[in-house]
């Protein structure tokens, strides 16, 4: 089984990179599951119903979000009924939407996608580790779910790494989102879980984490209120993690970064890897 996870989609540039590349990637890499973090896709802040529907209609199986889940308030009723668009599972009880979802993939198999949000330097939510445990108490890799992917949306690399170690051998993939900066540690861990601290972003890297540089730099150099941040609109990069899984166990046999378009070094996986 082959899985593609794409990092935070930022603005029009990120959406274009994703939509331009995904049809070919689904075919070339024979993808069984595509998961995308879409929480910055609506002009850098949140996701709209229209954008979510476009993603789902064009090859994305599940969309995760994060701390910007509610920035576009009109999406809340849609998120409540469309469980392929998720918010973190460790939000308080009663929060609209779901923090995990099961989708059917090829040959009648099922994939479980879980998202949690970290607490270091983030909102004081419920424990993400306990949230993952609660969900995994009802699902087992290789039996009730053929693929289990955990997206940890967090600021601290240590918290993401801790989640990877905590889940190793119990899930197929643990991948980080939120920082918009890809890390160089993609690997299969000792017990068979594919891991990367942060997949990076889909967007224009001639920017400050996807935003036009001028106003972003001014926030650091002038420390005075300035113009609103807006997404950079140069050529975008699709950045993500490609993982090959054992059909029987659901554990990873190979993983590597994907980087297509824009200014970053290009990286296109091969099925023969």
DSSP 8-state symbol, 189 = -
Beta strands in 178-237 (DSSP E): 187-188, 194-196, 201-202
Question: 226 near 211, Cβ under 8 Å?
Answer: no
DSSP 8-state symbol, 198 = -
User: What count of Cα atoms within 13 Å lies in the side-chain half-sphere of residue 202?
Assistant: 32
Q: Which two tokens stand for residue 77?
A: 């009723």
Question: 158 near 120, Cβ under 8 Å?
Answer: yes
Which residues carry out catalysis? 68
Measured between alpha carbons, how far is 53 from 103 in angstroms, rounded to an integer?
Answer: 16
Measured between alpha carbons, how far is 140 from 2 in angstroms, rounded to an integer?
Answer: 19
* Closest listed residue to residue 11, CA positions, set 237, 257, 177: 237
Q: In sequence order, which ranges of 47-205 are alpha helices (DSSP H)?
A: 49-57, 76-81, 128-136, 157-167
* Closest listed residue to residue 10, CA positions, set 260, 233, 248: 233
Q: How many CB atoms lie within 10 A of CB 109?
A: 16
Measured between alpha carbons, how far is 201 from 175 in angstroms, rounded to an integer?
Answer: 12
Burial class (CB in 10 A: 0-12, 13-18, 19+), 185: middle
């Amino acid at each position: 089984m082959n899985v593609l996870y794409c990092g935070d989609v930022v603005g029009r540039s990120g959406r274009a990179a994703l939509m331009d590349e995904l049809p070919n990637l689904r075919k070339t890499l024979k993808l069984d599951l595509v998961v995308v973090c879409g929480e910055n896709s609506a002009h850098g802040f949140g996701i709209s119903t229209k954008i979510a529907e476009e993603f789902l209609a064009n090859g994305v199986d599940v969309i995760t979000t994060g701390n910007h889940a509610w920035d576009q308030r009109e999406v809340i009723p849609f998120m409540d009924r469309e469980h392929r668009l998720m918010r973190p599972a460790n939000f308080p009880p009663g929060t609209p939407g779901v923090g995990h979802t099961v989708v059917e993939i090829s040959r009648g198999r099922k994939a479980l996608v879980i998202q949690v949000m970290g607490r270091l330097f983030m909102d004081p939510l419920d424990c993400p580790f306990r949230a993952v445990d609660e969900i995994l108490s009802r699902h087992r890799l290789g039996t009730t779910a053929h693929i289990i992917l955990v997206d940890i949306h967090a600021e601290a690399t240590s918290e993401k790494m801790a989640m990877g170690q905590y889940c190793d051998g119990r899930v197929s993939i643990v991948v980080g989102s939120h920082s918009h900066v890809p890390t160089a540690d993609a690997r299969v861990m000792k017990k068979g879980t594919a891991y990367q601290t942060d997949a990076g972003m889909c967007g224009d890297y001639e920017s400050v984490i996807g935003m036009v540089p001028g106003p972003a730099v001014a926030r650091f150099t002038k420390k005075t209120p300035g113009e609103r941040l807006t997404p950079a609109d140069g050529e975008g990069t699709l950045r993500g993690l490609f993982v090959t899984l054992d059909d029987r166990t659901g554990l990873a046999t190979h993983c590597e970064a994907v980087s297509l378009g824009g200014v970053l070094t290009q990286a296109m996986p091969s099925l023969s890897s």
